[in-house]
Each structure stands twice: as C-alpha cells, then as structure tokens.
C-alpha cells in the first residue's frame, strides 16, 4: 500500500513558463469576474492538490526529447494518486498534462496489454532526480520511501518544449528515466540551481531506501516495445529526428 500522507511545503515560485499564450491582456471585467469566482466558488478537487513533486519526463519512443515536469498531486486512496503537470511553478505556468500513480500491488493486477503504458519510479527516487521541494529532509525521505515502488502513467497534452503559444497536436505518452546517464545532465543542473538543491546529495541521502524489483511489464521501451499515439502533424517525429541529427548520435539515449 502507498500509505501516503502528503505534506504541504513552502516551495515553488522560482520557475517561469517559457510559453506565452496569444491573446489580449485580461480586461477589467474579466479580472473582476475572476476575483469574484475566487472569493465565492469552492474548488475541492483543486484544494486537494496538496503535494508538489518535481522530476523529468521524455517522450516514449523519442528519448532525446526530455523536459522538466512540475507535479501537483492529490491522494485518492492508499493505492492511487493523481497529479496535474505544469511547465513551471508560478502563476503563468501552462498545464502540460496528467500523471496517475499507483501502488505496486495495483500495478501487478493490471492486464498485460495495459502494463507497457506505465513507468517505474525506482530510478527517479534512487537517483535523487525526483524531489519534493520545500519539504524537510526527513519528510521528503519518508515520501520517497513510499514512492519508490510505485508506477506512473503520464500523458502530456501541451508540448511546451515545441508549442510555444497553444497546445497543438495530440496527447503523447511520456516515460521516466531508469538509469544514470539517460537524462541530460545540463537539464538536471539547471533545475537544481533554480530549486537550490543537489540531486547528487539527494541520491546519497536515499542510499538506504531499498530498490524494489521492477515489474517486467513496466518501462517496456527498454525491451523495444514503444506505445505512442500517432501524430497526424508529424511535428514530434521531425523534432526528434532534428535533435538526433544535430547531436550526431542518440544523445542522452534512454537505453541502458
């Protein structure tokens, strides 16, 4: 069981969105309506988003296309967590997608055809690259002990690395890293500087967290089984090909 009790930390407000949506600034009447709604309407599903996790994803099938992902999560029960994902942690952040996180027991019960859609969290936790900014070290360590054996299914709907104005194309299935050397070290370093943390220090602090065996159905891309939504625009394939050509090789390949 997840046995998760998420704590609210004082963190964020250090990562702006790189995307600017087109449109005129909000009018006085729109701002007034927004302020009124803020005062008068309740938002139970939003208020339940009480945990902030920061990590990294890549497009399933395109390992060089990587990005940081800011997760705001709510616990549904002992075995299921749901998160909304943004490209930043300030009020200009763009909604990129969603991630569902389930326990190892729940994952084991999934149909075999469903399992390739999910990724493990063992490496993300053990490598120190998945963090909970603002939580005291003991609380974050306890949280990571709970997350290390879980599995996530992630869909990005606004590909902010490519679409700098509006969400275009179709949802894409994302994956998490499973070994050192897969994620772009410069990407990690930039994140660490902004958050004032060290992934290397986090990794050392988590050395005592046991690494559970990963269900063989997860992280299916490592065995050559890539599940992805066909892109009618072709932009993601073109972007991946351009990235591989510019690198001269499959830079930051996610293959072990």
* Tens digit of each residue's pLDDT (9 = 90 or more) over 195-245: 999 999 999 999 999 999 999 999 999 999 999 999 888 877 778 777 767
Q: For position 24, what pLDDT does the model report?
A: 60
Bigger pLDDT: 88 or 41? Answer: 88
**11-25, 56-70, 172-186: least confidently modelled range:** 11-25
Query: Collapsing DSSP states into helix, strand and coil, what is residue 36?
Result: helix
DSSP states of 134-157? TS-HHHHHHHHHHHTT-EEEEEES
Lowest mean pLDDT among 19-23, 45-49, 107-111, 203-207: 19-23
CA 238 to chain centre: 23
DSSP state of 131: B
pTM score of the predicted model: 0.86
Mean pLDDT of the region 13-37: 63
Q: What is the pLDDT of residue 39?
A: 58
Burial call 44-64: b when 16+ CB within 10 Å, e when fewer? eeeeebebbbbbbbbbbbbbb
pLDDT score recorded for residue 110: 98
Residue 250 pLDDT > 50: no
């Amino acid at each position: 069981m997840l046995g998760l009790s998420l704590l609210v930390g004082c963190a964020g407000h250090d990562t702006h969105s790189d995307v600017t949506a087109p449109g005129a600034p909000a009018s006085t009447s729109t701002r007034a309506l927004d302020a009124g709604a803020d005062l008068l309407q309740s938002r139970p599903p939003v208020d339940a988003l009480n945990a902030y996790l920061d990590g990294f994803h890549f497009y399933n099938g395109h390992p060089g296309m990587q990005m940081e992902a800011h997760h705001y999560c709510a616990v549904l029960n002992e075995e299921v967590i749901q998160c909304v994902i943004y490209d930043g942690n300030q009020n200009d952040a763009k909604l990129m997608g969603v991630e569902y996180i389930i326990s190892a027991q729940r994952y084991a019960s999934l149909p075999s055809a469903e399992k390739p859609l999910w990724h493990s969290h063992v490496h993300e936790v053990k490598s120190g690259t998945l963090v909970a900014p603002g939580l005291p070290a003991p609380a974050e360590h306890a949280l990571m002990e709970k997350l290390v054996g879980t599995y996530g299914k992630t869909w990005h709907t606004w590909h902010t690395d490519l679409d700098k104005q509006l969400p275009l194309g179709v949802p894409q299935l994302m994956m998490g890293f499973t070994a050192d050397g897969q994620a772009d070290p410069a990407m990690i370093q930039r994140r660490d500087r902004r958050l004032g943390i060290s992934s290397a220090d986090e990794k050392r602090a988590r050395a005592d967290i046991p690494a559970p065996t990963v269900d063989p159905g997860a992280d299916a891309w490592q065995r050559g089984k890539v599940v992805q939504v066909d892109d009618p625009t072709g932009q993601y394939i073109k972007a991946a090909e351009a990235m591989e050509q510019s690198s001269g090789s499959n830079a930051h390949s996610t293959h072990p």
